Structure 1
Amino acid sequence: MGTEATPLLDALGHPLLPIDPRSVSGAAAIELAPRPESVGRARDFARGTLHSWRLDEQFDSVALVVSELVTNALRHGVDHCAPEWGPLQARPRLELELIRCTARLVCAVRDPSERAPRPAHADSAAESGRGLHLVECFSDDWGWRRLHGKGRGKIVWATFLTKS
């Protein structure tokens, strides 16, 4: 299903997240193919991970945010970088990591683009363009950071306060 590790947290750098790295009690990560069905796979992964951490009550908000972050990574991260890949190159994968801390849950998605995520000015009749507004409304905080060095791309994260 996924791995027990903190690769995104390490790449992101502890000072940029509103958590104390000593408070991390669990982490799970999954690589996602650059295909639309990965959004559902990410939600399933979140459901299973939250259930194993006994955070089922967080699932609805987390699932919505995970769906939006992965969709944005596919639409604006992977698709934006597509012209740079030759026909023989494999498309880079996305990565979702869930990190459990003492009083927070962090969802982080890595994609190959270095472009800043920007909330769109969505028309109320538009079918898309509200993803980051939803992330902002359903999470307690969110942000992003470009990766430097060997790790190309960016990480977009959202945090949720937890009861435990």
Structure 2
Amino acid sequence: MPGPVWLFGAYGVFRMWSWLLARIVSGSLPTTWTTAALDLGTLLAALLPVSLLGLLLKRSAYAVQLVSLYAGLKGAAHFIALFRLVFGRFPETPDMVSSVLVNGVMCALWFGVLRYFERSEDIARLFPVEERRRTWWPVVPMIALMLVCM
């Protein structure tokens, strides 16, 4: 597999471990159903890139489309987060500047991943276009997980 695929996998493993370490450090179980549901959503969002890496490694016919969809949705979510200033979500503090910078960089990186999966010759060789399958129903759960975790 090409290097960017492994970089995507490292991102997924990092997300999973950061979720797990946060649960261990907090040392407490959720006390309400709402907290438990949010924790479950965060766990599923952390597992999503790891499962997409698994599809890539299995060379699933749906892998490239789902990873591209994930990268596009993440890029769009960070782009939309750039507009929090317009809606007065942040007070005018240094956090505002760092948030704009982080969301701007993440937006650019995710759109770079999307472009890579769409245009890469290595991906086209490993996943021939005629063998790829498309499905659009995963958009709904991916958007729901991203809304829970943003």
* TM norm structure 2: 0.34
Which one has the bigger helix percentage? Answer: 2
Higher relative contact order (CA 8 A, sep 6+): 2
* TM norm structure 1: 0.32
**Higher-Rg member (1/2):** 2
Which one has the bigger strand percentage? Answer: 1
